Each structure stands twice: as C-alpha cells, then as structure tokens.
Amino acid sequence: MRLRPSRVLLPVVALGLLVSVPLKAWTIVSNHSQQGPEAEVALADALEQAGYRTSYEDRVLGRRAVVAEAGSCRIWLGIVSGEGWHRDIAVKSASPQEEVAFFFKGHAYPDQPIWDTWLDEKAAVLARSFALPLHPSPVVAAHLGPGCAIDREGLAQRLNAPSGGQGKGPAERM
C-alpha cells in the first residue's frame, strides 16, 4: 500500500506558505523602519553633548553610521542587526589599531551578545504581532581609535539614555 498525501494536506501547506511569506516581509520592513535615521541622529546627539564633532558615513555597513572626533580620539558608531548579520562586517572593517565594542541595553561588550540581541528582537516582533508597542533595543557597533581613553560602560549608558543623557562637562560624562 502506497502512502499518498491527502487532498487536504497540500492545500493547507500551500495556504500556510502564502500567508507566512507576506507576514515575514511585513515584520522585516517594520523592524527596519523603527530604527531609521533618527537612531543615528540620537547617537550623534549623545556624542555631541559629550564634546565630539560628528559626521556621517556609509562605507562600512552600507547605511548611515556616526563618526565622532575629539582631539586624537575617533569613534565610529553603527547600528547593526540584532540577529548578528552585520557583526562580522563591523569587526573586520576595524583597523588593527582600533578596538571594537558593542553597546546594547546600556552595557558595553567586546563582542556582540548575539543571543541576547536576537531574543530581544524576536520578543519585539512577537509583541508587535499582538499590537503591543514594544521595539527592540538598538545594537550599536563601535570602532574606538587608539587615542580614545573613554569609559565604555559610561558611553553605553549615555547611548542608551532616551534623551542622549544629561550630565556635567564632556570629561565627566564620558
């Protein structure tokens, strides 16, 4: 006796594929749109408040990143995917003299905490599918130049602050 797929199974699988593809496309578009250009502006504002001159460039990730300079210190900050898609690009594009760091939820990491960032992003997608206004926390990759003697945890907290953070002078804030 030969097993054949039932007449119901094939249409159910086809319907599942038909429904899932637009939903996946919708979640990808909604995820990228909520971390648009205003996220980079917030990064630049936080660094300008700390006394850095900022500009933008798009050579590393193919999308806008912030370049901040103060004296001999040069910092490159780019928002990367929570799924880790840009992690290798961000790490390998740093010069040998630069240190790489990742900032996520107010903490500094020497490498992207991929499971944490992935879970954060998936939890936000799930919440939005139930119409809850939860957005993933931005994951920021950084190249820190050799002239930068900054407190990484302090920078992570500053970048995580909703208003760019408030504080004293540039030296005390970073």
Location of structure tokens 């990730």:
61
Give the number of C-alpha atoms closer than 13 A to the C-alpha of residue 81, restricted to the C-beta side.
15
What totals of helices (H) and strands (E) does the chain contain, helices first? Answer: 6, 6
Residue 108: its H or E element: strand 107-109
pLDDT computed for residue 4 by the predictor: 64
Predicted confidence at residue 40, as pLDDT, reads 84
Residue-level pLDDT at 86: 83
Q: Specify the pairing of strand 73-80 against strand 99-104.
A: unpaired
pLDDT confidence of residue 150: 82
Question: In the chain, which residues have pLDDT < 70?
Answer: 1-6, 23-37, 162-174
pLDDT attached to residue 24: 61
Hey, what amino acid is at 172?
E
pLDDT for the residue numbered 170: 31
Domain limits, the chain: 35-173
At a CB cut-off of 8 Å and minimum separation 6, what does 60 contact?
Answer: 76, 78, 89, 90, 93
Reported as half-sphere exposure (CB side, CA atoms, 13 A), residue 170 has a value of 12
Distance, CA of 9 to CA of 155 (rounded, Å): 54
pTM: 0.70
CA distances to 57, 83, 102, 108 from 113, rounded to whole Å, are: 25, 10, 8, 10
Per DSSP, helices labelled H in the chain are: 9-33, 37-49, 87-92, 114-129, 152-160, 170-173
